[in-house]
Amino acid sequence: MTAANGENPTESSSLATLAPLQAVLFDVDGTLCDSDPLHYYAFREMLLEIGYNQGVPVDEEWFIKTIAGKHNDDIASALFPDDQERGLKFCDEKEAMFRRLVKEQLKPIDGLYKVKKWIEDRGLKRAAVTNAPRLNAELIIEILGLKDFFDVVIIGSECERAKPSPDPYLKALELLKVSKEHTFIFEDSASGIKAGVAAGMPVVGLATRNPPHILMEAKPAFLIKDYEDSKLWAALEEIDKKSGATTTTV
């Protein structure tokens, strides 16, 4: 039975079935850092400049529904259904604006470095898997000091299909040479959660910006507020108990 806040109190134990854990996969925007407000600001200001929506600024509800977690090809089609080329050019210009903002304002999700250490202490493999352009993803990862943390960075547009297709996550498994039966994912969008679930892995959803009820519809294992959340650490402790390891580095 799901609780009123969208949580199932028993679902965190599902991660214990992954023991011995081999790898952890992360989305980037909204998962490593709270970057959606910067994306929203860039879209809002640039759409205002071209008179989109009859000059009325788009709101966060529109942003979540139309933009969050989606690939730029799909965003371009949604914004300019009759002119894909214009839409893609607009998205490229918006990404350039976003990168300027990121250099000044980026902050990690609370507890990110704590879970990073947990992963490193156990010698687990790790990948960043994102629909963001490679320039964005690599800039964010560098600013956060995670360049040496990730074994590989998978970009949706470099796969046959981007999220919500499972292709990017399946590619991560292939490159890391790990099994989906021993890997889980951190994601913050419905699109990303759907991709991870379709790839056959449990997904821990971060309710960074997207409404919990929307995320729950995508069927994550459970939701957390951030990486300090006690639900996450209870689940990681269960993995340790089942694998018979605590902080041994492989």
CB-CB contact of 186 with 27 (8 Å): yes
Catalytic residue check, 34 = no
Distances (CA, A) of 228 to 28, 84, 162, 202, 209: 18, 41, 29, 19, 16
Q: Is 74 labeled as catalytic in the residue annotation?
A: no
Looking at 29, 34, 188, 229, which residue is catalytic?
29
Distance CA 53, CA 31 (A): 29
> Per the residue annotation, which of 27, 34, 36, 74 is the catalytic one?
27
DSSP string, the chain: ---TTS--TTGGGGGGGGPSP-EEEE-SBTTTB--HHHHHHHHHHHHHHTTGGGGPPP-HHHHHHHTTT--HHHHHHHH-TT-HHHHHHHHHHHHHHHHHHHHHH--BPTTHHHHHHHHHHTT-EEEEEESS-HHHHHHHHHHTT-TTT-SEEEEGGGSSS-TTSSHHHHHHHHHHT--GGGEEEEE-SHHHHHHHHHTT--EEEE-SSS-HHHHHHT--SEEESSTT-HHHHHHHHHHHHHHT-SS---
Catalytic residues: 27, 29
